[in-house]
Amino acid sequence: MLFDLQSRGRRGFIKVIYLGLAILMGGGLILFGIGTGTGGGGLFDAFSGDGSSTSVQVSNVEKRAAREVRLNPQDPRAWADLAQARYQTAGLGDNFDQTANQGTGQFTKSGLVKLEQAATAWQRYLLLDPKRPDVNLALLMAKVYSEAGLNEPAEAAEAMEIVTEVRPSASSYSALAQYAYVANQSRKGDLAAARAVALTPSAQRRLVRAQLDNVRRQVALQAGQRAIEQGRAGAGRAAPSGGGTQGVG
């Protein structure tokens, strides 16, 4: 993993990166729940109610999805439904602390476990249906792998690549570029950034280019700072432990 999030300063830096990503994505491409868009009649028709009733409904959906996977383990749609169900469950009850991060919310330990399970179902889905993955589910998985979730930017970039292949747009390529940069995949990030700028209306191209360039610089700066700190730590371990000279009588 590129970033050590135990440091408060580094955590703040990563949040800045993802805040920039959210702005470029136009307020909702990744940072909000997105359905699988299978055309109705599936497990994820709109929920009614809220609070505990919603939790019960989501829990029931997850149970149904898990049962469908057991009955039809080679059905990619079943695994896709299970991935989304587990993500939905991760955002409910004790799995998500809505008061954390100054009210923006944060997944708890149990919520992160659900996200891991969602990621497992997603990977199984890809193995079964690699040629025609669900683009809306890929968007959701980018959120699962984001800093707010599992913090695996390389996996988030892979999910966004699926999106750009089906829905090439300035926002999808901007997200791909930023995830790639955070994952230390500079070449992929540069190519995606170029496409993002090309697909942006001419009046906004300078702004988008500047934002993506700033992300690239900040990631490089963070990587450099980390290398310096690791070098210092290594030098400290290699230094002699000390000890004075012995006197002669």
209-225, pLDDT tens digit by residue?
999 999 999 998 988 88
Confidence check: pLDDT of 49 > 60: no
- Model confidence at 249, pLDDT cuts 50, 70, 90, reads very low
Confidence check: pLDDT of 16 > 90: no
> What is residue 55's predicted lDDT score, i.e. its pLDDT?
77
- Model confidence at 3, pLDDT cuts 50, 70, 90, reads very low
- In the chain, where are the structural domains located? 1-29+133-230, 48-131
> What is residue 44's predicted lDDT score, i.e. its pLDDT?
37
Confidence check: pLDDT of 239 > 70: no
State how far the Cα of 46 lies from the Cα of 53, in Å rounded to an integer: 13
Mean pLDDT of 159-168: 95
Q: Which long-range contacts (CB under 8 A, 24 or more apart) does 104-109 make?
A: 106/148, 107/148, 107/149
Give, in order, the Cα–Cα distances in Å from 62 to each of 37, 87, 172, 221.
Answer: 17, 9, 29, 42
Confidence check: pLDDT of 142 > 80: yes
Of 137-141, 181-185, 225-229, 237-241, the poorest mean pLDDT is in 237-241
Q: What does pLDDT average to over the chain? A: 80
State how far the Cα of 104 lies from the Cα of 186, in Å rounded to an integer: 30
pTM for the structure as a whole: 0.73
Asked if residue 43 lies in contact with residue 80, where contact means CB atoms within 8 angstroms, the answer is no
Confidence check: pLDDT of 198 > 90: yes
pLDDT tens digits, one per residue of 59-106: 888 999 999 999 999 999 999 999 999 999 999 989 999 888 888 889
State how far the Cα of 164 lies from the Cα of 203, in Å rounded to an integer: 22
> What is residue 139's predicted lDDT score, i.e. its pLDDT?
94
State how far the Cα of 205 lies from the Cα of 63, in Å rounded to an integer: 46
pLDDT tens digits, one per residue of 34-47: 333 333 333 333 33
